[in-house]
Structure 1
Amino acid sequence: MTTTLRHYKISIDGVVQSFHIAGKGPVCLVHPGGPGFNWNYMRMPLLEQTMTVVYIEPIGTGDSGLLQDGDYSMPRYAYFAHKIAEHIGAEKPCFLGHSHGGFAGIQYALDYPNELGGLILHSSAPCMVPELGMEQTRQIKLYAERWPDRPEAQAACQAWMDLGAGAAQDKESFLELLGRLLPAFFGNYWNLPKEFEEWRDNLDFYLVPRNPHTWDAREVLDAIDVPTLILVGEHDFNCGPRWAAEMDDKMPNSQLHTFEAGGHMSHVESPEEFVKVVSDFVRHVRSA
């Protein structure tokens, strides 16, 4: 059953912030990754059955506005998410961040301690530095080795190399490259649920000029005391088990769940398992 999706726009410091709300129950802010993915790839109808899901359109994407200073930094993403929570009157909401959205979630927990009821880091990492890129390249080569007889896997590996070489110069070329890279985001691209084709056809991405910056929270993860659920796919090339284990080791109130043979998009690849793990976590932290 699909719940009604309501679209909202507010102004934060003169910048339009767009978001969508669906479902009922405890509030969960959902921040997509990229940075630049359209929010709708994170739509989770099953989660909407038990939670009020607030899908954020990050600044610089979709119907949200652009930052005049181009400072798309983690504190800015966290600030805009926090302002949404304030606007809708959410007390102790959960924050579910995917990939780069998880970076924003970590920053949220650091900048606004005691404001979150729970933090859910979905296929994410504690840093955005060259070391992350090197690990991604190493992992996508292993991915291609796991599927030596699948042309799509070899093409995905080459697409990653093309991306690193600057092949995507505009939105059209980036979406073409993303289409070739897509199989690598899944543990088994050839065994996806029937809803995948519609999900794939609705993928969109926004290329926004951004001031170059790095981000690294590894030395301050132990300051995050909010209950944290870390989700990772066993074969996630993008933000894989190495980063999940490091976060789980350093965060004092965390738990780790690994999707066996999963990839970077477990909410798509294993939606029932994903929603059960998240719902159980939210239920536990609320009862505690």
Structure 2
Amino acid sequence: MKHTHRPGTLPRTPEDPSAPLSPGTHTITVPHGPARVALRYHVAGSGPVCLAHSGGPGIGWEYLRMPGLEDSLTMVYVEPVGTGDSGRLPDPRDYTVATYAHFLHAVVQHLNVPRFALLGHSHGGFVAQRYALDHPAQVTALVLYDTSPVADEEFWSAAVAAMERFVKDHVQDHPEVADYAATLTTRLGLLDDDGATAVLRTLMPAYLHDYWGREAEFAPARRTLRMYASPSLGEEPPFDVRDELPLLTPPALVLAGRHDFICGPRWAALLHEGLFKAELTVLEEAGHLAHLEQPARFDACVLAFLQAQGVVRGPRNP
């Protein structure tokens, strides 16, 4: 893989900025079939390495930035293929969980770290599960955040039903939510990137427990969300690793927001029950984005788990 260093929004240090784990934005090129595809990743913080994979598929990585974890960990945020300034796949049907795991492994190989913690959010949790099943010896600990071991027809039907309840609960005070259930089922692959972004920004209040009660806090983040359309065109069977969960040997923390309409406690419990070694934490007063809604609680849960696994050696710095 060829490595280059490109300017990014993250802080950089003058010492060897081209080193794979130097703070900042990096680009590698990854073989994928006959093509070579650019992939960006972003490094921030110091301490043991934790790779983070964002959700979607197709959501820009920036929403997953976790400054509180960067106090204790070297966070490596993958910018998934098909999003942002990472490259696009020649055939959009190839945007599959296996493909994302392939690109994640390319980052791991480039970083040359023998073992690391892995955090996956939502669809990124699918990728994290697949990666840990395929490469268990390299993952010291797994944080499965607002995700599920299955995304079949029942999963999506439950999400639509939960969205319909959200609409019923909020439409009187916020008439704009009336079309949320229909918007949730929009075929993003028929849109361009701006259209997909508009859908995500429209629906953001449903991903939070109390968007309107904290609108001044969350509105700026809503305006910066980005979604890319092509990843939704991936073709693969419904994600389902329930039968493989007992084989997933790295210790896992399963985190879910109590009010997450799409990957809430029901699916977290399914993960927890199926995993060989896992603990479950449900974060109150949080939806699908607990790291934004309850950052102190979220960070404390993750760091306590990683400390118990020997990944983080001491308590979090004040």
- The verdict on a shared fold, with TM-score over 0.5 as the criterion, is yes
Matched with 1:223 is 247
Matches within 5 A, 1:147-226: 147=170, 149-151=172-174, 155-156=176-177, 158-166=179-187, 169-192=191-214, 195-208=217-230, 210-213=233-236, 214-226=238-250
Flag structure 1 segments of 5+ consecutive residues without an equivalent.
none
- CA change 1:231–1:157 in 2 (3 A) is farther
The answer on whether the counterparts of 1:157 and 1:184 sit within 8 Å (CA) in structure 2 is: no
The answer on whether the counterparts of 1:156 and 1:182 sit within 8 Å (CA) in structure 2 is: no
Give the CA deviation at 1:15.
1.4
| Per-residue Cα deviation, 1:32-61 (whole angstroms, up to 9, x for no partner) | 101001110111111111100001011111
Give the CA deviation at 1:148.
5.2
Matched with 1:100 is 123
Matched with 1:61 is 83
| Candidates 30, 33, 37, aligned match of 2:59 | 37
Give the CA deviation at 1:109.
0.8
Give the CA deviation at 1:156.
3.6
Name the TM-score, length of structure 2 as normaliser.
0.84
| Per-residue Cα deviation, 1:194-240 (whole angstroms, up to 9, x for no partner) | 65333222211111163322221111111101110111011100111
Structure number, greater radius of gyration? 2
Give the CA deviation at 1:90.
1.8
Matched with 2:257 is 233
SS of the aligned residue for 2:309 comes to helix
Give the CA deviation at 1:63.
1.5
- CA change 1:278–1:147 in 2 (3 A) is same
Flag structure 2 segments of 5+ consecutive residues without an equivalent.
1-9, 13-22, 314-318
Per mean C-alpha deviation after superposition, the further-off stretch among 64-73 and 97-106 is: 64-73
Give the CA deviation at 1:146.
3.7
Aligned AA (2:29): S
Aligned AA (1:50): S
- CA change 1:18–1:285 in 2 (3 A) is same
1:285 and 1:56 map into 2 onto residues whose CA distance is 23
2:68 and 2:178 map into 1 onto residues whose CA distance is 32
Q: Report how many residues are paired.
A: 285
| Candidates 142, 145, 156, aligned match of 2:165 | 142
1:96 and 1:150 map into 2 onto residues whose CA distance is 36
SS of the aligned residue for 1:275 comes to helix
Aligned AA (1:160): A
Give the CA deviation at 1:12.
1.3
Q: Does 1:282 align with 2:306?
A: yes
The answer on whether the counterparts of 2:120 and 2:145 sit within 8 Å (CA) in structure 1 is: yes
Q: Does 1:72 align with 2:90?
A: no
Name the TM-score, length of structure 1 as normaliser.
0.92
| Per-residue Cα deviation, 1:114-134 (whole angstroms, up to 9, x for no partner) | 210111111111122222110
SS of the aligned residue for 2:137 comes to coil
After the TM superposition, list the runs of 4 or more consecutive aligned residues in structure 1 that deviate by more than 6 angstroms.
Answer: none
SS of the aligned residue for 1:277 comes to helix
Aligned AA (1:67): L
Per mean C-alpha deviation after superposition, the further-off stretch among 69-78 and 167-176 is: 167-176
Q: Percent identity?
A: 35
Matched with 2:19 is none
The answer on whether the counterparts of 2:196 and 2:228 sit within 8 Å (CA) in structure 1 is: no
The answer on whether the counterparts of 1:192 and 1:269 sit within 8 Å (CA) in structure 2 is: no
SS of the aligned residue for 1:219 comes to helix
The answer on whether the counterparts of 1:24 and 1:51 sit within 8 Å (CA) in structure 2 is: yes
Matches within 5 A, 1:5-16: 5-13=23-31, 14-16=36-38
Across the aligned residues of Structure 1 and Structure 2, the Cα RMSD in angstroms comes to: 2.0
Per mean C-alpha deviation after superposition, the further-off stretch among 61-70 and 92-101 is: 61-70
1:109 and 1:229 map into 2 onto residues whose CA distance is 13
